[in-house]
Amino acid sequence: MEKRDIIHDGVSIKIFGTDEPDKVLVHFTDDITAYYKIKKAVIKDKGLYCNNISCMIFRHLIRGGVPVHFIQQVSETEQLCRKVDVIPMEVIVRNVIAGSMAQRLGLQEGLVPKATIFDLCYKSEELGDPIINDYHAIALGLASREELDEIYAVTKKVNDILVPVFKSAGITLVDFKIEFGRLPDGSLVVADDITPDSARFWDTETGTRLDKDRFRHDNGKVGLAYKTVYERLKQVTDL
């Protein structure tokens, strides 16, 4: 497999074409940003930790029967994936109240809701990724009713698989964001990584934040937190 031109130049991931038109190479960088790129830094080895965490999670999801874009890990910072048409919509799962949900509804961080919460956001950096509902998603042509039903079912399955995995690593999976893409035949796959950049991981015993909130809130030891997630997941059997 040969690496070709860059096709997506993101902050934390860069995507390259390959000599196989249906496959892309996803490269994880050490760059980190928050608050729509107002805050920027470089965290040593973040790309390595995020790629390895993402690969472990994808391998586990594949074993659980979840359709994903991931094919295989290529190096410490790269993974080979199927090329997809990404739907510009974020699906957020919240098992514990935190972040924007706590702020928007005046709720206490750490509160466990009576049911798992699923949010949809329209992916637009200029608009600040505004929250939308199913009616918006269908009306805007982002997804059909049937596709939304599948997106919710797959997202719930991802959560049901990952909550116990993280629990056995001593980590509470507070919330996470995923995106979906369409393969050439129109079928949906999870086309986004779950890493400390896009999820909240709290140490179950101490409540210590092991994710990007450390960077957002200037708590320090960002790299160490990512490394902790990576090393704890590695300890979990069969990951």
CB 159, min distance to ligand C5P, A: 12
Which residue's CB is nearer to ligand C5P, number 55 or number 101?
Answer: 101
- Comparing CB distances to ligand C5P, the nearer of 34 and 183 is 34
| Shortest CB 123 distance to ligand C5P, Å | 7
Give the helix/strand (H/E) hosting 103.
helix 99-105
Q: Which of 210, 194, 207 is nearest to 110 (CA)?
A: 207
The residue of the chain with the least Cβ separation from ligand C5P equals 99
- Which is closer to ligand C5P, CB of 18 or CB of 54? 54
CA distances 119 to 3, 54, 92, 112, 179, Å, are 36, 22, 5, 16, 12
The residue among 176 and 230 lying less far from ligand C5P, judged by its C-beta, is 176
Own/partner long-range contacts of 165-169 (Cβ < 8 Å, ≥24 apart): 165/57, 165/60, 165/233, 165/236, 165/239, 166/201, 166/233, 167/204, 168/236, 169/229, 169/232, 169/233, 169/235, 169/236
For residues 43 and 26, give the distance between their C-alpha atoms in angstroms, rounded to a whole number.
18
Site of interaction with ligand C5P (CB under 6 A): 90, 92, 98-101, 129, 175-177, 198-200, 212
Structure tokens at 116: 């798992």
Cβ nearer to ligand C5P, comparing 18 with 51: 51
Smallest separation (angstroms) from ligand C5P to the CB of 34: 9
Q: How many Cα atoms within 13 Å fall on the side-chain side of residue 77? A: 15
Quote the least distance from Cβ 185 to ligand C5P, whole Å.
28
Residue 128: CB minimum distance to ligand C5P, A: 9
Enumerate residues 6+ apart whose C-beta is below 8 A from 128. Answer: 36
Report in angstroms how near the CB of residue 200 gets to ligand C5P at its nearest: 4
Nearer to ligand C5P, 37 or 114 (CB): 37
